[in-house]
């Protein structure tokens, strides 16, 4: 393992140099990896594994759009694409990649095929952490592990194809075989992770729910809308407001942060921009910190999980979600974005 220093904190991580792909393939050579669910994470992880030469099959409901997507991606029915029950039966290393709602609904089916010696792998700690509510209680004689890529399925696939890969967290909930950790690392390397860092199921779901509601999705969308609305209120055109708020952020500045960090992005901007940003940074930090404190407390208490479970348990939750996304999609800012993207060279 490699040791990374973050200020005064030292952390151990696993890299591809220490645990090469050949070793990962050897560790999982006797396993049949079954990807259960071909929605968000399923396609990326399955395709990366296939491209890396691992034995992979897909479990997905027949007749769904995800089933058809799997066929488009080259999976062949009755060869390496099966309904969920058959894939669970054939698989020895089951990757449970349905949505949190789907995991709750399909658990009685999947649970039936978790015989002793199998491995159940998650990419999110939600179902197990909140098992009193989700009823996802794995049997004691199997390995239960987690490999959670720190990005969307599209990013997992795109970065793999670019030869880079995205970092993943790993965790062991149950080690019935005595080899759970080795298999977990092998799977993480197999899907193309840049490096692997250790956590546990509870910490993973807490940080994930917090991050998604915060900087990653909720906060950034809220801040973007607020800035756009102030610019429009003060007479700036949709094109100007969108470019100054979204286009420059996503096409110019975020890539610079990803490349070498926030200070590098600042240094790549004008001295006027740097001065203003340095002056206003603490104001935004101090204004939003109480919101983040409230958010973390809500996640830690289980309130956010309760809200999610209640919403996802409604029979019309998909329709309601689409309505909310439609409202976002039809806002002027994101309609302006459609037009601006058309004009990119």
Q: Which residues are catalytically annotated?
A: 124
Radius of gyration for the alpha carbons in the chain, expressed in angstroms and rounded: 22
Long-range CB contacts (< 8 A, 24+ apart) of 109-115? 109/84, 109/85, 110/36, 110/84, 111/138, 111/139, 112/88, 113/85, 113/88, 113/89, 114/88, 114/138, 114/139, 114/142, 115/142
Q: How many CA atoms lie within 13 A of 116 on its CB side?
A: 1
Helices (H), the chain: 21-27, 42-51, 65-72, 84-90, 100-111, 126-129, 131-134, 153-161, 180-190, 201-211, 218-233, 238-242, 248, 254-260, 262-267, 271-300, 303-312, 317-329, 332-342
Q: How far is CA 262 from the centre of its chain?
A: 23
In angstroms, rounded to a whole number, what is the distance separating the alpha carbons of residues 153 and 130? 23
The residues pairing with 198 across neighbouring beta strands, listed in sequence order, are 170
In the chain, what is the straight-line distance between the N-terminal and C-terminal CA atoms, in Å?
A: 44
Answer for the pair 241, 334: CB distance below 8 angstroms, yes or no.
no
Record the tokens describing residue 256, joined without a space.
């610079």
Record the tokens describing residue 12, joined without a space.
């151990």
């Amino acid at each position: 393992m490699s040791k990374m220093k973050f200020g005064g904190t030292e952390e151990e991580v696993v890299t591809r140099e220490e645990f090469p792909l050949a070793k990962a393939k050897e560790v999982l050579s006797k396993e049949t990896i079954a990807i259960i669910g071909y929605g968000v994470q399923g396609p990326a992880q399955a395709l990366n594994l296939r491209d890396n030469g691992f034995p992979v099959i897909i479990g997905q409901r027949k007749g769904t759009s995800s089933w058809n997507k799997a066929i488009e991606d080259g999976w062949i029915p009755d060869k390496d694409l099966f309904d969920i029950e058959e894939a669970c039966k054939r698989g020895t290393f089951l990757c449970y990649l349905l949505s949190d709602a789907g995991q709750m609904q399909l658990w009685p089916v999947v649970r039936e095929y978790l015989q002793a010696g199998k491995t159940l792998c998650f990419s999110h700690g939600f179902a197990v952490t909140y098992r009193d509510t989700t009823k996802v209680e794995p049997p004691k004689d199997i390995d239960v592990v987690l490999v959670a890529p720190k990005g969307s399925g599209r990013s997992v696939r795109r970065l793999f194809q670019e030869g880079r890969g995205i970092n993943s967290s790993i965790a062991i909930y149950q080690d019935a075989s005595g080899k759970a950790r080795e298999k977990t690392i092998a799977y993480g390397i197999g899907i193309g992770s840049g490096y692997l860092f250790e956590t546990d199921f509870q910490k993973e779901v807490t940080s994930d729910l917090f991050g998604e509601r915060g900087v990653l999705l909720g906060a950034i969308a809220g801040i973007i809308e607020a800035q756009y609305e102030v610019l429009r209120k003060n007479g700036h055109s949709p094109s100007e407001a969108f470019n100054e708020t979204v286009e420059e952020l996503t096409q110019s500045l975020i890539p610079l942060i990803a490349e070498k960090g926030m200070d590098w992005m600042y240094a790549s901007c004008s001295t006027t921009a740097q001065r203003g940003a340095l002056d206003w940074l603490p104001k935004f930090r101090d204004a939003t910190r109480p919101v983040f404190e409230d958010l973390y407390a809500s996640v830690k208490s289980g309130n956010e999980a309760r809200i999610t479970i209640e919403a996802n348990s409604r029979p019309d939750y998909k329709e309601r979600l689409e309505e909310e996304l439609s409202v976002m999609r039809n806002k002027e800012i994101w309609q302006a974005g459609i037009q601006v993207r058309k004009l990119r060279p």
